[in-house]
Amino acid sequence: MNKTILVAGGDLRQVHLANLFAQSNTVYAIGFNEYIEFDQKVQLVTRPESVRTRPDYLILPVSACTDGGYLSTPLWDYRLRLAALLDGMERPSLVFGGILDSEAEKVISLRGLSYINYLQREELAVLNAVPTAEGALQIMMEELPTTIYGQKCLMTGFGRISKVLTKYLTALGASLTIAARKYSDLAWARIYGAQAVRIPEMQRGIEEYTAVINTVPALIFSEEILSKLKKGCLVIDLASKPGGVDFETANRLGLKAIWALSLPGKTAPITSGEIVYDTICNILQERGEV
């Protein structure tokens, strides 16, 4: 593959992704400060007009545009609207990215561009569960005054992240209980080596847990539940917005509650960048463009 690619905005995941694509493509990057260390093959620009060749692909970050049509540029001192980016250069044939707000969706649609949300790919979701689970382990090791070994832990939900985290926690010797709604999830949780209860029944013995982890993006840990946790219990919410923990109440009750969003980009940006890179390559291969 020898294409022209523009990587626009994002964190260190996008930096590594740009470096990977630059090994066999012409790659431009915009939305990054000069001191960010790119591969020497990556051409860093500050204006879309500086992209001298029509890009075949525009690659936006995981949280592509979530602020009124502005690109996510945490590694840049400036702001750039997606509309200004697209109107300042020749239009790409294909746009990849993650989460778009309504304004950004409108920008893409009005310009007749094809947009592929790589976050909807199952292989990315599965592989991203690994750095998320490892990030949760890191939080537990840093925040708990005990070892994980021998501690009673509760985790709500049994999706991709929970499956990986169950494997890690049981291997470290935690006494883990999974709370889920589906009987099939409870059965799989037992096969993975955890105890299992239905969510409506998880209050029984809840005061014994040293740590509770939520992966369900719906309010699970209300004041009724949080008030029964023992003092010093660590509460980690891995769920996407709106989350599953009443943090205001948790803070008022003196609980250590952490909403751990975007862990892959924070704890393992290189691995996470490789996952996005591989996913985009898979998509291009399916489209016959590789």
As a whole number, mean pLDDT of residues 26-36 equals: 97
Query: In percent, how much of the chain has pLDDT > 70?
Result: 100
Contact 32, 15 (CB under 8 A): yes
Across 9-112, where does the E strand assignment appear? 26-30, 43-45, 57-59, 94-97
What confidence category does residue 59 fall into, taking pLDDT thresholds of 50, 70 and 90? very high
CATH class held by domain 4-120+269-286: alpha beta
242 near 219, Cβ under 8 Å? Answer: yes
pLDDT in the model for residue 52: 86
pLDDT tens string 77-99: 999 999 999 999 898 989 999 99
Identify the pLDDT of residue 130.
Answer: 98
Average pLDDT over residues 51-56: 92
- Which of 290 and 31 is assigned the larger pLDDT? 31
DSSP calls for 197-210: EEGGGTTTTGGG-S
Q: Which ranges of 144-262 would DSSP assign to H, the alpha helix?
A: 160-171, 183-191, 223-226, 247-252
- Given a cut of 80, whether residue 30 has pLDDT beyond it is yes
Output the pLDDT for position 64.
94
pLDDT tens digits for 150-187?
999 999 999 999 999 999 999 999 999 999 999 999 99
Domain-wise residue ranges, the chain: 4-120+269-286, 124-259
222-242 mean pLDDT: 95
Question: pLDDT value at position 1?
Answer: 74
Over range 238-243, report the average pLDDT. Answer: 93
State the first-to-last Cα distance of the chain, in angstroms, to the nearest integer. Answer: 6
Provide the CATH number for the domain formed by 124-259 in this structure. Answer: 3.40.50.720
Mean pLDDT estimate for the chain = 96
